Amino acid sequence: MITTDNKESRINVTVFGEFTLADYKEFEEVANYKVQFEGPVSLLFDLREMNGFTVDMALEEIRFARAHAHDFARIAILTDDQWVTWSAWLSKFFVDADVRVFEDTDDAEAWLGGIETPVA
C-alpha cells in the first residue's frame, strides 16, 4: 500500500508493507500528471515501512525510469535498509536526477528544499 501527497513541484510517496505493481501504477499516474503540468518534479520516497516488493513492480520501475529520465529534479529516498540504498544508487544510471538516500526525514526535506546536506 502507498500514500501520495502532492505539493508544488513535488510528490511524497510512503510505502507500507509490500510495494506492488498496482501501487507503482498509482504513483505513475500522479507523476505523469505532475510532470505534464508542472515540468520536472522532485520526489520523496519513504521506504522505511516497506517490507518487500514484487518483481513486476521492480521491472516497471526500471521501465518508468528509462521513459522519464529527464522528468525529475531531485529524488530523496528515506530508508535504513542497505539493499534499498544499493538499488537507489543503481537507479542513478536510469535518470539524470540527483538521487540521495537519507535516514532522517528533516534532512531529506531540507535537501529537497534546496538546502545542501552532507551526502551519507
The answer on pLDDT for 120 being more than 60 is no
| Average pLDDT rounded to a whole number, residues 79-84 | 81
Could you read off the pLDDT of 12-59 as tens digits, one per residue?
A: 999 999 999 999 999 999 999 999 999 999 999 999 999 989 999 989
Q: Which CATH number fits domain 2-112: 3.40.50.300, 3.40.50.720, 3.40.50.10600, 1.10.760.10?
A: 3.40.50.10600
The string of DSSP codes covering the chain is -EEEEEETTEEEEEEEEEE-HHHHHHHHHHHHHHHHHHSSEEEEEEEEEEEEE-HHHHHHHHHHHHHTTTSEEEEEEE---HHHHHHHHHHTTT--SEEEEES-HHHHHHHHTT------
The answer on pLDDT for 87 being more than 80 is no
pTM assigned to the model: 0.87
Sketch the domain layout of the chain as residue ranges. 2-112
pLDDT at 96: 83
The answer on pLDDT for 119 being more than 60 is no
